[in-house]
Amino acid sequence: MLQLVVDFSTIQRFLALPADEMFFRIMITVGWIPIAWVLIWGASMIFLGTRQGKFSAKMKKITLAIDVPVMSEQSPKAVENIFAIIKGTKSVITFKEKWLYGKFLKTTSFEIVSIDGYIQFFMRLDPFYRDLIESAIYSQYPDAEIAEVDDYMTHLPDDFPNDTHELFGGEITLGEGQYLPIKTYEDFEHMASKDQKLKDPLIQLFELMSRFGHGEQFYMHIMLYPDGDLGAVQGGEDFIMKTFGKEPPKKKTRLQKAMGPIAWIPGEVSTQVGSLLGGAEAAEAPKDAFKIFNMTNQEKGQLDAVAKKLAKPGYPVKIRWGYVARHDVYNKGGRNSLWKGYIALYANQVGNRFKYDPATMPRDDYFWLIWEYRRKQRELMSALKGRSFAQGSSPMYLNLEELATLWHFPTIDIKAPLIKKSEAKRGEAPTYLPTASFGENDELSDSPLIEVDEQGRPIERKADPDIESHVSMTPDELATIAPDELQDILPEGPLVEADASNSVEPEETKQKDSEDDDRPFVPPNLPV
C-alpha cells in the first residue's frame, strides 16, 4: 500500500533559529527580489523623466487670443463640441518613442485672464493642432476673431521675493470621488424669466475679474490631457452596482488571464464545495438584493448624478489659478475671498465640489510654513508659465458638460463691459456678385490698352477736326454757331443737379426708382 510521508523537520529547524539569523536567511534567499525591483523601477522612472524633460524643452507652444462675438446667442452647449474635438490631439505613442525620445501626449490649456481689469480668452496649444482648434471654434462661433499673440506671462519675474511683484494662487481639486459631478450649466437654468433662462455662473467670475485695478492680474488655466479617465468610469459603475445592492464584477487576475479558457474551473469547484458544505444557507439571496426599493432621496440623487456624468466623455484636468500684483496694490486676502466664493457656486449637495489643494499654495498660516513660502511661489510661477501638467496636485476627471460650464464664451445676457469682443461681423461676399463662368479666367486681360503697329510703336489717334475747331474758338465765336451744330459737343443733361426740394419728380421717375430699390446694390467699380 502506498504511503505518503511529509517531513517538516527543515521547517522546524528554521523556526528554531534566532530572529536575526532567520531574517538574514530570508533576505539572502528571496528578500533581495523586492529590493531589486524597487531599485530598477526607480532608475527607470529617473531615466524616463530625463528623456521627457528633453522632449518638453524642444516642444513649441503658441498662444491664441479669442475675441468673442458681441451678441452671441449660443449656450454653453456649443462649447461642448469644442472640447469634444480635443480628442483629436490624442495619438498612439510606441515603446520606442516613449523610452528613447521621451514622447508624451500634449495638453491644451483653456484660459480666462484679467490684466488690469481687462478680460481676455486665451488658448495655449501645440501649433500642430492650431487648424483643428480654430475650425472647432469657427464651426460654433463664426463671428469670433482668433489671433496668435505673445505669451502674456513672459514679462513676469521668475524669482521671489523681487522688487516688483507678489504672487498667490494654487490648484483646486474635487472634494469627493471622481465619478461624482459638480453643478453644471443645466443646474443653473430656470424658468422664472422667458428672456433669460440661464443664470450663467461665469457672470460672477467676470464681475470678479473686472474689479482688478491697474497693476493686478488674475489667471485661470484649465489644462486638458487627451487620454484616460483616472478610474472614474469604473468607480462610477461600481457605485451604481452597490447602490442597486449588487456586487460589482470582479476583475480577472493575471493568473486567470493566463489560464484563459480553463480559468473558470477553480472558481466553479470552490462554489460547488461551498454549496455542499453550507447546505441551504449558501443558496439564500444576498442581504441587499432589494436595496433599490429602500433608497433615500440623497442616494437616488447621487445615482442619477453619476449616471449623467458617465453618459458623456471627459478628460483628466488640472485647474490652476494665480493672482499677481505689484507690491503697492497687492491684496491677497480680498482677492482670495472672491475666488473662493466663485468656486463655491459649483458645489453640488448630492454630487461633488471644488476645494483648495494646500500643497500647491504659498501659505503662512503657521510659522514653519514661512520657511517654504518663497519656494512655493517659485514653483507656482514655473507651473503657470509652463502650463505644466506634471507639477502640482493629481489631476481630476471632468466630462464635457462640466468643462463647458467652467469655460465658455459669454452669452447674450452677460453685460460685463471689459470683455474683449470682436468688433466687426465676419461675413462672406454677396452671392449676386459677377463671377467668371466655366472656362473663363478671372485674371486681367493680356490685350494692350494702347494700339500699336507691327513694330510695336503706338498708333496716334486722329482728332475730330470739328471738335478741335470748336475747342479753339472764343466765347464770341461760339455764340455765332447754330444750335444744331452744338448738339454733338454739348452734354445731354445739366451740369449741375437741380435742388431736390424745389423740383417735382414725375410719376414715371418715381415708379422707376421704386423698382430700382428692390434690386441688389452693385458697387460701381465692379466689371459689370
More confident residue, 463 or 311: 311
**Mean pLDDT computed over 250-269:** 62
**Is residue 275 pLDDT above 60, yes or no?**
yes
Closest CA to 225 of 116, 91, 134, 117: 91
- Cβ within 8 Å of residue 302, ≥6 positions away: 180, 239, 243, 350, 351
**Is residue 379 pLDDT above 80, yes or no?**
yes
* Residues 71-89 pLDDT 10s: 566 778 889 999 999 888 8
Whether this model's pTM surpasses 0.75? no
* Residues 156-183 pLDDT 10s: 999 998 999 999 999 999 999 899 999 9
Mean pLDDT over each residue of the chain, to the nearest integer? 78
Cis peptide before 494 (omega within 30 of 0): no
**Mean pLDDT computed over 471-476:** 59
pLDDT at 254 (0 to 100): 63
- Dist CA 106 CA 123 (whole Å): 13
Share above pLDDT 70 across residues of the chain, in percent, rounded to a whole number:
66
* Residues 418-448 pLDDT 10s: 565 554 444 445 555 555 444 445 555 555 5
pLDDT at 280 (0 to 100): 47
pLDDT tier, 309 (very low <50, low <70, confident <90, very high otherwise): very high
**Three-point CA angle 46, 48, 50, nearest 5°:** 70
Domain definitions of the chain by residue range: 20-58, 61-229+313-406
**Mean pLDDT computed over 121-131:** 93
User: Which conformational region is residue 71 in: left (phi greater than 0), alpha (psi within -120 to 50 degrees), or beta?
Assistant: beta
More confident residue, 293 or 146: 146
**Is residue 502 pLDDT above 60, yes or no?**
no
pLDDT at 471 (0 to 100): 53
Question: May I ask the CATH architecture of the domain 61-229+313-406?
Answer: 3-Layer(aba) Sandwich (3.40)
pLDDT at 347 (0 to 100): 92
pLDDT at 147 (0 to 100): 92
Q: What DSSP line would sit under 205-257, residue for residue? A: HHHHHHT--TTEEEEEEEEE-SS--TTHHHHHHHHHHHHTT-PPPPPPPHHHH
**Is residue 468 pLDDT above 60, yes or no?**
no
Asked whether 123 and 64 are in contact (CB, 8 A), the reply is yes
- Dist CA 380 CA 384 (whole Å): 6
pLDDT at 91 (0 to 100): 86
* Residues 200-251 pLDDT 10s: 888 888 888 888 889 999 999 999 999 989 989 999 888 888 877 777 667 6
pLDDT at 524 (0 to 100): 56
pLDDT at 356 (0 to 100): 94
**Mean pLDDT computed over 306-327:** 93
pLDDT tier, 9 (very low <50, low <70, confident <90, very high otherwise): confident
- 28-50 core/surface letters (b: 16 or more CB in 10 A; e: else): eeeeeeeeeeeeeeeeeeeeeee
Bridge partners of 125, per DSSP, are 62
**Mean pLDDT computed over 42-52:** 91
Residue type, 514: S
Q: Are strands 108-115 and 62-67 parallel, antiparallel or unpaired?
A: unpaired
* Residues 318-352 pLDDT 10s: 999 999 999 999 999 889 998 999 999 999 888 89
Share above pLDDT 90 across residues of the chain, in percent, rounded to a whole number:
34
- Dist CA 324 CA 215 (whole Å): 8
